[in-house]
Amino acid sequence: MSFKVFQINEEFLDVMPKEIVDLQENATWGNPKRGVMDLPFHKELIEEHSLCAGCPEAAALRYIMASIPNPEDTVIVNSTGCTSLVFPHIAMHTVHSLFGNQNAVASGIKRVLEYRYPDKVKDVIVLAGDGATIDIGLDCTLQSFFRQEKITTICFDNEVYANTGGQESGATPKGHVFKMAPKGKQFEKVPMWQLAIDSGCKYVARLTVSSPKRVESVIKKAVYVAREVGPTYVHLYTPCILEIGLNSDQGLEEMRSKDKERFAFFEYISPEAEEVINRKKAEGLL
């Protein structure tokens, strides 16, 4: 784990696409004050990634990548789903887990890093969709909270199994109709942010990704608190515009409308987390 996490062999530099070279040369490594305001001048994700045109997840990933305070010493654990399509296109350490067990894998990685590097900061972040986090992986997710693993879990909630045809998930709102849920969802959306609080998370936030600066603030708080205190959880609304019948340019409008409804900004800060956050603000890192 180092600044050389993504480094092209010099012999291939002249044949590599420019956007790949830019990913190596223009990322914001080594700057704990990095953030979304650096995005116009630096690169965290190649343009020709595998997500659909206009997908809010692509915007969310760029904001998160730009906001992680210590990317060169961070491991991201991802799971099968739309989110996993983008990880070959970033310049960070990533580990792909089986569907649903991403928090168990992250727990093991975090413990090994603490043993191997007792005097260095090594952050571990889980990033997965609602199917992996709330449905198939719910047990692994909650058990990592119960055990007080010092990892950050980020859920991309698009409220559907988007890349397998459009099945309802536990995060789908009640009554919503999808191609593979023609009668509509029969039960209420699982309030994962409340489960996270009840399960011992020290910092929890629910929001859309319509405000880049807010995403940056939440991600930094979550990582800093997890580093020192215990598990943190971030729930991001990243709607699948194709499955809900929107055009590729309507994702931002959809998220802004939900900012005032089901995904109005919510933040839970435990007393221990508040101490960390206040200290980081005093240090100019938040």
Residue with tokens 């991600």: 219
Check: CB of residue 112 under 8 Å from CB of residue 150. Answer: no
CA angle 260, 237, 250 (to 5 degrees): 75
Report the residue count for the chain.
Answer: 286
Interatomic CA distance for residues 184 and 174, integer angstroms: 7
| Per-residue model confidence (pLDDT) at position 271 | 97
Report how far residue 44's alpha carbon sits from residue 63's, in angstroms, rounded to the nearest whole number: 9
Q: What is the pLDDT of residue 286?
A: 93
What is the pLDDT at residue 90? 83
Query: Which of 66, 56, 60 shows the shortest CA–CA distance to 31?
Result: 66
**What residues of the chain score a pLDDT lower than 50?**
none
Ramachandran class of 207: left when φ > 0, alpha when ψ lies in -120 to 50, beta otherwise: beta
Please name each of the domains of the chain with its CATH number: 3-282 (3.40.50.970)
Query: Which pLDDT does position 16 carry in this prediction?
Result: 87
Q: Give the CA distances from residue 139 to residues 86, 146, 199, 227, in Å, rounded to whole numbers and listed in that order.
A: 25, 10, 11, 22
- pTM comes to 0.94
